[in-house]
Structure 1
Amino acid sequence: MVRETEPSNNEREFVSKAVAEGLRVDGRAHNSVRSIKIVLGPELGYAQVQLGKTRVMASVSCEIVRPSAGNPTDGVLHFNTEFSPMASPAFEFDRISEEEVMVSRMLEKALRRARAVDTEGLCIVAGEKVWAIRVDTRVLDHEGNLLDCACMAAMCALLHFRRPDVTVIGEDVTIHTAEEKNPIALSVHHIPVCVTFACFNDGEHQVVDPLLLEEQVMDGSMTFVVNIHRELCTLSKAGGTPVSPDQVMLCASIAAVKSAEITQLIRQAVAEDAKKRQTDKK
């Protein structure tokens, strides 16, 4: 159940003391991520990810647009995030919160700026027509760590998505339906995964994948964006308590392991969905 109120002083003290003693309110270890459930489809480009009780859906759509003058051969990749008031009493209708802005910016950094998707492969006619890919993420249930869940949902949706095939003859561009030609998957270079840590006790202790209660009590947070090759795409720590270099390196090594595990889950879900679709066609 989503928390509707700020934690009391007793709750704050309890969570902080528990973390200092190596415990967490839900029984997990400091370096344990909640259970992950991935649901894809039925339409291509739709994904829903559940991280514990936090749930986010993502859908991908596309249209043909004119490229920017500075990047005439690059397609467009855009992220839009919506926090539904149904997900948490903290979210207000028609009002953008700081957390919503933060999640949108981090998705931009994690997926677009890290060049997870080959935007050059979205070019149809240089300087004239390119594909614009839009990823809409919507928070359905908020029980902590929205960013990591939203990143997984967006990445699953991008891997699951297929754009229409096109034929270019001179200046004429023909967009084919799925019945005429098989849609084409996006070219994905790598799968960045967000792994967030909550900091407690003046930065002395960190826990991965914080619950909402832990987020409300923490002294600060730190997010690593890592792929399966252990490449650090982005490290974000906006304010909060300082963290020692040794603690940062420890969290980075944990993030690399968690990223590899989550990447395997994503790939498995996409492969199983593709296999099911092939079976249904027969």
Structure 2
Amino acid sequence: MKETPLSNCERDFLLKAIQEKKRLDGRETYDYRKLKIMFGTDYGCCFVELGKTRVMAQVSGELVAPKDNRPNEGIMFFSLELSPMASPSFEHGRQSELLVKLNRQLERCFRNSKCIDTESLCVVSGEKVWQIRVDVHMLNHDGNLMDAASIAAIAALCHFRRPDVGIQGDEVIVYSPEERDPIPLSIYHMPISVTFAFFQQGTYLLVDPCEREERVMDSLLMIAMNKHREICSIQSSGGIMLLKEQVMRCSKIASVKVSEITELITKALENDKTARKAGGKCGFAESMPQERITALKKEETSVEMTDATERANNIILEAEVPPQTQSLVVPLPGMGQVGQGLKNRQGLEEDEQDEEEASNSDEDQEAVMEVETTQKAQGDVVEISDSEEDEVVILQPEKTDRVQKKTSSSSQLKGPKASKKQQRK
């Protein structure tokens, strides 16, 4: 499956952003993406994240017969895998052009540069030597696979420990890690690859190109260098020719980046070493959050019979304590809680509301009765008797004032009429 080509608009946008010295992820021209190095639980397993590019390297060793032309030297073997999980453009079980190029570059970077003492891998001259195998798996492809693969490979080689070997007569005995401590590899230097991308016939230069920038680039330059500024390998691919000044400029930039990455690898190795000595968590598998299914797991709890009588006495004392002395916990509404001295409130919210309404109605009736009794004492209540029921009409204060005014006015009218009648008599 081939890569989906970019549209003309997207291609023009990327090239215009590069002309203005701007990148999609906000980096500067010579900036690397965020680099993260982690080690596995076993020796020789390394996991590298370069931005969104993820690579895992695993180093293993076995005793094999040496080569005829080099009977006193061990063997180094590199194997890369571009799985479809990393990118849809990769096909499983088929060697693409990119895979062959990456594999050759790794061999030049590590084997031809003599970064590892292969003579120390010899056990019996001409019969048994150690074969060190480096398997590199691409987990996610977001550009610059060569740099991530070289960092993961050299970090895994520095982290690897081979078993100790003893010779008794014609027999070769391989000791387990419990019997003898494993032995690290003798590494002279750490070659690290730095990738440069050129655009518009070499006019513009970028370090650590991402996947989209690799699609629109014109040429690619990979320089493998160690912290001593020694060039281990150099490879250029593309249709343009680079000038001497451009190559020298890239080598100066690569020397700075290699020294920074080397310091990061040494710090990661030291942190892993201290974590293993302290007995804490080590490896990227332990640092990830794990959700394990423990339904079939039986947890064994230690049973102590020495203080059984004390626990029984404490339980009896707690049972004899009256509920008033215990601290009552008020549960949340809608939560059921049953226990000694605690009240179950589950499903009793409606009953409490009914009781509150009933208590409020009782209080209202008592208030009405008190008003009626006071008004009866004052004579402001007019009772209308009926054969079956007695209805009580309560006159408001305004109505009582009007009645008093009417009665007073009628008495005033009745007064002068009576006086006139007396005069006539």
Residue in 1 that maps onto 2:66: 67
Residue in 1 that maps onto 2:90: 91
Matching of residue 124 in structure 1 with residue 113 in structure 2: no
Q: Which amino acid aligns with 1:94?
A: G
Is 2:192–2:225's contact at 8 Å kept on the other side of the alignment? yes
Cα shift at 1:41: 1.3
Cα shift at 1:98: 0.9
User: Higher relative contact order at CA 8 Å, sep ≥6: structure 1 or structure 2?
Assistant: 1
Q: Which amino acid aligns with 2:28?
A: A
Range moving further from structure 2, 8-17 or 172-181: 8-17
Residue in 2 that maps onto 1:38: 37
Is 2:66–2:75's contact at 8 Å kept on the other side of the alignment? yes
Cα shift at 1:18: 1.7
For residues 127-152 of structure 1, what are the alpha-carbon distances to aligned partners after superposition, in whole Å with 9 as ceiling and x for unaligned? 11100000000000100000100111
Cα shift at 1:245: 1.3
The 1-side partners of 2:54 and 2:177 are apart by: 30
Is 2:151–2:192's contact at 8 Å kept on the other side of the alignment? yes
The 2-side partners of 1:256 and 1:194 are apart by: 10
Cα shift at 1:14: 1.8
SS of equivalent residue, structure 1 residue 113: coil
Residue in 2 that maps onto 1:49: 48
Alpha-carbon RMSD? 1.1
The 1-side partners of 2:239 and 2:250 are apart by: 16
Cα shift at 1:30: 1.0
Range moving further from structure 2, 14-23 or 28-37: 14-23
Residue in 1 that maps onto 2:274: 275
1:89-168 aligned at under 5 Å gives the runs 89-168=88-167
For residues 156-207 of structure 1, what are the alpha-carbon distances to aligned partners after superposition, in whole Å with 9 as ceiling and x for unaligned? 1111110000012332211000000000000111000000001101011110
The 1-side partners of 2:123 and 2:152 are apart by: 27
Residue in 1 that maps onto 2:19: 20
Q: Which amino acid aligns with 1:211?
A: C
Residue in 2 that maps onto 1:77: 76
Matching of residue 201 in structure 1 with residue 200 in structure 2: yes
Give the TM-score, by structure 2 length. Answer: 0.64
Equivalenced residue count is 278
Is 1:221–1:240's contact at 8 Å kept on the other side of the alignment? no
Give the TM-score, by structure 1 length. Answer: 0.96
SS of equivalent residue, structure 1 residue 238: strand
Is 1:204–1:243's contact at 8 Å kept on the other side of the alignment? no
- From the two aligned structures, give the one with the greater strand fraction: 1
Is 2:74–2:119's contact at 8 Å kept on the other side of the alignment? yes
The 2-side partners of 1:37 and 1:273 are apart by: 14
Q: Which amino acid aligns with 2:251?
A: A
Range moving further from structure 2, 235-244 or 102-111: 235-244
Residue in 1 that maps onto 2:250: 251
Q: Which amino acid aligns with 1:178?
A: P
For residues 61-92 of structure 1, what are the alpha-carbon distances to aligned partners after superposition, in whole Å with 9 as ceiling and x for unaligned? 11100101100110000000001101101111
Is 2:218–2:238's contact at 8 Å kept on the other side of the alignment? no
The 2-side partners of 1:93 and 1:72 are apart by: 36
Is 1:44–1:161's contact at 8 Å kept on the other side of the alignment? yes
Cα shift at 1:116: 1.2
Residue in 2 that maps onto 1:263: 262
Q: Which amino acid aligns with 2:265?
A: I
Residue in 1 that maps onto 2:358: none
SS of equivalent residue, structure 2 residue 238: coil
The 1-side partners of 2:71 and 2:43 are apart by: 28
Is 1:224–1:252's contact at 8 Å kept on the other side of the alignment? yes
Q: Which amino acid aligns with 2:105?
A: M
Range moving further from structure 2, 29-38 or 15-24: 15-24
Cα shift at 1:241: 1.6
Cα shift at 1:21: 1.9
SS of equivalent residue, structure 2 residue 111: helix
The 1-side partners of 2:13 and 2:62 are apart by: 51
Q: Which amino acid aligns with 2:177?
A: A
- From the two aligned structures, give the one with the greater helix fraction: 2
